[in-house]
Amino acid sequence: MSIRSGFLFVLAILPVLCSDFGFAEESATILTPRSIKVRYVNDRKQINYVVDRFTAELRRSGSNANLISCGLVTELIEEGVNDISFGAVCAVQDGDNKLSVLMCGDSLAGKFAIDRSGSLTHESVVGFIRRNCPPGR
């Protein structure tokens, strides 16, 4: 058998040999929604951290508004991703105008959003975070 015919023989028999081995069957990938935990933040140190992050985001976006305070601070944690998004109802002063706004951010993903607040409840903060700054996305 020449080298060339030996090479062709190997090429011809290789698929047959490979099919005899017990390869795992191809499995379908099923995407399931990750579990999101909601936590209401009461720790003053963590609230100050959130206020500082939101203040930095306002400055980065070119706003001259001053962040006065934040309440109903809420965090959403996506389990398995190790990512946290924060949101809150905040008082912001821009010149003579004092506004109550919803803010959220996910510094890991680089997200930040602000909007005039509707209802002042934890549920509205959670909904705002889910729509604008979901963790892990």
CA distance 93 to 68: 7
Higher-confidence residue: 12 or 105? 105
Kindly list the strands in the beta sheet with 36-40, ordered across the sheet, starting from the edge strand earlier in the chain: 36-40, 66-78, 83-94, 97-106, 111-116
Res. 20: pLDDT tops 50: no
- What fold, for 36-132? Nuclear Transport Factor 2; Chain: A, (3.10.450)
Q: What does the pLDDT look like over 29-69, one tens digit per residue?
A: 333 456 888 999 999 999 999 999 999 999 999 999 999 99
pLDDT exceeds cutoff 80 at 19 = no
> Checking DSSP bridges between strand 83-94 and strand 111-116, what pairing results, if any?
unpaired
Q: Where do the domains of the chain lie? A: 36-132
Whole-number Å distance between alpha carbons of 69 and 89: 9
Tell me the C-alpha distance between 129 and 106, whole Å: 9
